[in-house]
Amino acid sequence: MAKGKKKLDSKSFSQQKRHRRQWVTFMRMCRYGVNNFTRNAWLTIAATAIMTITLLVVFVSFASRNVLVDTADQVRDKIDMSVYLVTEAKPDDVNKVVDGIKGLSSVTAVNLETPEQARSKFIEDNKTSADTLEAVTQATNKLPWTISIKIKDINDTKQLQSFVESNPLVKANTDPSHPPSFAGDRRATLQTISRAVDFAQKAGIGASIIFVAISTLIIFNTIRMAIFNRREEIQMMKLIGAERSFIRGPFVVEAIVYGFFAAIIASAMGYSLLFFAAPGLLSYGINLQPTLDLFTYFAGFVLLAMILIGALIGIVSSLMATRRYLKL
């Protein structure tokens, strides 16, 4: 029993000793990696600058996509369809049409405006124009009944269009001078914004991929030059039996440090750009506020994500370089 306990204590002690040795080795690799980061100032600045640009492109691409999507959603919420019925249409028939439209699964909201309400609204909207106001006041004809409709998908009006074309009450009371409006120019505007969102998303992804590739190549060459400059030191480490991880580790740490500092700089630049451009973009009706709130509230997570992306780029490029040029 005593022998078994002594054996367990010896095994536990060996494990603790091994773990302590691994921890000391890890700390040494980190220290050597940080020291390597400061050895060649010009290479360090070049590598960090390229990675900063890469991460800034990623930041701007993500922010731009959010802004464009929010703006498109805002425009979509403001767009509605309009069905116009003749002024002489009976209120009961109009209400039946409204109830039928409300029953469509693609419709989210319906608003009815009487001819009198439409006339009052038109006068209110044009009260600053004396000529228009006088013409409307003297005119005897009334404006049509206006049914404003909001649907789930602005690009899918098939159900509403089918109802308007097949419903007998709508066909009998449609105002010939005001055909149903299925978004018209407004729909074209929304489609243009949707295309801009898709283009910006694809362009952002493309630019990010290009800069990630460039950054990886720069880090790869930086690590390669560091290996070349320290070839004698590395050869000596091999001769005395240093483990692969110990030889490779400092180069990986060095590349991670590039990503760490680049992420901090890129995040600072990205936030500065975002807040600097906010007043101008908001003045043009760009829906930037949700993106500002998102990036402000989750600033810590954004910075962490940027650091992780930078570290990943550094790890991949350094592993490629060490595997190729250290023959490990």
Q: Are residues 202 and 313 in the same domain?
A: yes
Q: What is the pLDDT of residue 187?
A: 60
Q: Are residues 238 and 210 in the same domain?
A: yes
**Number of domains the chain contains:** 2
Sole residue written with tokens 């780029």: 313
Residue 1 lies in a domain: no
Per-residue model confidence (pLDDT) at position 267? 92
If DSSP codes are grouped into helix, strand and coil, which group holds residue 201? helix
pLDDT at res. 257: 86
Same domain, 203 and 132: no
Domain annotation covers residue 158: yes
- How far lies 184's CA from each of 11, 64, 83, 282, in Å? 80, 27, 12, 26
- Domain identity same for 201 and 63: yes
For the stretch 44-50, contacts whose Cβ atoms lie closer than 8 Å and that sit 24 or more positions apart, written own/partner, are: 44/222, 44/258, 46/218, 46/222, 47/218, 47/219, 47/222, 47/258, 48/258, 48/261, 48/262, 48/265, 49/262, 50/211, 50/214, 50/215, 50/218, 50/219
Give the C-alpha separation, 289 to 296, whole Å: 10
* Residue-by-residue pLDDT tens, the chain, 328 positions: 555 555 555 666 566 766 677 676 667 777 776 777 777 777 778 778 888 888 888 888 888 878 877 777 776 677 777 888 888 888 888 888 888 888 888 888 888 888 887 777 766 666 655 555 555 554 445 678 888 888 877 767 788 888 888 888 888 888 877 777 665 555 666 567 667 666 766 776 777 788 778 877 877 777 777 777 777 776 776 777 667 777 777 878 888 888 889 999 999 999 998 888 888 888 877 788 888 888 889 989 999 999 998 888 888 887 777 776 666 5
Same domain, 282 and 239: yes
67 shares its domain with 155: no
Q: What is the DSSP string of 51-85?
A: HHHHHHHHHHHHHHHHHHHHHHHHHHHH--EEEEE
Strand order in the sheet with 81-85: 81-85, 145-151, 107-113
Give the domain CATH number at 150: 3.30.70.3040
Question: Which ranges of the chain does DSSP label H, i.e. alpha helix?
Answer: 2-37, 41-78, 91-102, 115-125, 130-138, 158-166, 168-173, 184-229, 231-239, 244-283, 289-297, 299-325
Q: Is 308 found in the same domain as 219?
A: yes
C-beta atoms surrounding 273 within 10 Å: 14
H or E element at residue 178: none
* Domain stops at, among 148, 163, 182: 182
pTM of the predicted model over 0.75: no
Residue found by looking up tokens 């003297």 in the block? 138
Q: Are residues 177 and 211 in the same domain?
A: no
Last residue of a domain, one of 182, 200, 227: 182
Range of the domain at 129: 80-182
Task: Give the model's pLDDT for residue 303.
Answer: 92
